[in-house]
């Protein structure tokens, strides 16, 4: 039986080169995610990864009771549901990032999306915080925060505002944005690291910015179950304490490094591909596209 460990080890795992989604999706649609015969089932079970600290170590900011329910019940249930829904289908054996993107289905999500994304989100969330967290970031992360938001405090304000205006259930994020257009031959004509930046976003329910091709750096869960036992309706207090006492800026910084490296690599790939395309055009024989014709169609009769 295969085991796939989850990818969140304090950093965003650079995802695989974009899968041929159209191919894979049409395959899934044809097969409808149907189960393979029992003997052929691959049970690639995703695991419930524990937080890198004990369940009581975030007290008093996030209680042991909250962790027991949030991680021990909610997160655990999503892992179980996901494993159940992908067993024996084409998604079985894929990495979690890929399962999330594929099941998002460009905005028309499959039923299993909520489970895949919530597994991803919660792994990411537990890694984003630590006992004795808070404080201020430094180094490149702080430089980019100051460059893109004006100041650390301004970034915090924007993050808080996103968290407090995400109506209903959802998440608020700090992400690194280095998107390309979602078109096969789209290449940024003026690639520059300066076009990449830090952005604050919010998303509803289980939606996760990797489906929009962002690199998440930090997340806060604003589903009510994340804070109700400790803060009741006072989401604002929860968000403030999260930022002041829990965030692990080291982890955020590591994720930023990975994201920047990934963006640089993609830019290099794009550049190589563009050069190859240019070379191909120059060396190929010119094909006569527009043939002369004696008939003059443009004249009205």
Partner 1 sequence: MALRALFTKTAPTLASGLGPFASAGGSGTRWQGLCHARGLKVAALPDLEYDYGALEPAISGEIMRLHHQKHHKAYVSNYNDALEKLDAAMAKGDVPAVVRLQSAIKFNGGGHINHTIFWKNLKPVNEGGGEPPHATLGWAIDTDFGSLEALVQKMNAEGAALQGSGWVWLALDKERKKLLVEATANQDPLVTKGANLVPLLGIDVWEHAYYLQYKNVKPEYLKNIWSVMNWKYASEVYDSEIA
Told to check if 225 binds partner 1 by CB under 8 A, we report yes
Q: Which is nearer to partner 1, 115 or 130 (CB)?
A: 115
Q: Which is nearer to partner 1, 67 or 251 (CB)?
A: 67
- Map residue 176 onto helix, strand or coil: strand
Told to check if 77 binds partner 1 by CB under 8 A, we report yes
Contacts (CB under 8 A) with partner 1, residues 150-209 = 167-170, 204-206
Beta strands in 163-296 (DSSP E): 170-177, 197-204, 215-221
Contact 179, 215 (CB under 8 A): no
Residue from 21, 110, 114, 187 touching partner 1 (CB under 8 A): that is 114
- Residues 145-160 as b/e (b if ≥16 CB within 10 A, e otherwise) read beebbeeeeebbebbb
Q: Which is nearer to partner 1, 169 or 253 (CB)?
A: 169
Told to check if 223 binds partner 1 by CB under 8 A, we report yes
Strand 3-4, strand 45-46: pairing? parallel
Give phi and psi for 101, each to the nearest 5.
-65, -45
- Residues 62-73 as b/e (b if ≥16 CB within 10 A, e otherwise) read bbeebbebbbee
Residue from 27, 73, 140, 268 touching partner 1 (CB under 8 A): that is 73
Residue from 187, 229, 258, 264 touching partner 1 (CB under 8 A): that is 229
Told to check if 81 binds partner 1 by CB under 8 A, we report no
Residues that bind partner 1 (CB under 8 A): 69, 73-74, 77, 114, 167-170, 204-206, 223-225, 228-229, 232-233
């Amino acid at each position: 039986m295969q085991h796939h460990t989850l990818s969140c080890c304090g950093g965003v795992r650079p995802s695989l080169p974009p899968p041929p989604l159209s191919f894979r999706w049409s395959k899934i649609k044809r097969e409808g995610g149907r189960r393979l015969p029992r003997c052929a089932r691959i049970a690639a079970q995703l695991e419930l990864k524990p937080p890198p600290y004990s369940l009581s170590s975030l007290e008093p900011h996030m209680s042991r009771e909250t962790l027991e329910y949030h991680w021990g019940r909610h997160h655990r249930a999503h892992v179980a549901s996901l494993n159940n829904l992908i067993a024996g289908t084409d998604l079985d054996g894929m990495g979690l990032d890929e399962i999330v993107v594929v099941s998002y289905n460009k905005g028309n999500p499959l039923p299993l999306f909520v489970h895949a994304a919530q597994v991803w989100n919660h792994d990411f969330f537990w890694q984003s915080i630590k006992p004795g967290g808070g404080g201020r970031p430094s180094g490149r992360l702080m430089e980019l925060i100051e460059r893109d938001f004006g100041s650390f405090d301004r970034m915090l304000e924007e993050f808080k505002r996103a968290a407090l205006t995400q109506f209903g259930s959802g998440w608020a994020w700090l992400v690194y944005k280095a998107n390309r257009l979602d078109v096969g031959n789209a290449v940024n004509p003026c690639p520059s690291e300066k076009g990449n930046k830090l952005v604050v976003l919010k998303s509803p329910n289980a939606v996760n910015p990797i489906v929009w091709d962002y690199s998440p750096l930090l997340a806060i869960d604003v589903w009510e179950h994340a804070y109700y036992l400790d803060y009741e309706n006072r989401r604002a207090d929860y968000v403030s304490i999260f930022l002041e006492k829990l965030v692990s800026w080291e982890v955020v910084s590591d994720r930023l490094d990975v994201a920047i490296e990934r963006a640089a690599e993609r830019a290099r790939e794009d550049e190589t591909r563009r050069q190859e395309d240019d070379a191909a055009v120059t060396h190929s024989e010119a094909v006569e596209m527009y043939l002369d014709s004696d008939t003059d169609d443009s004249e009205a009769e």
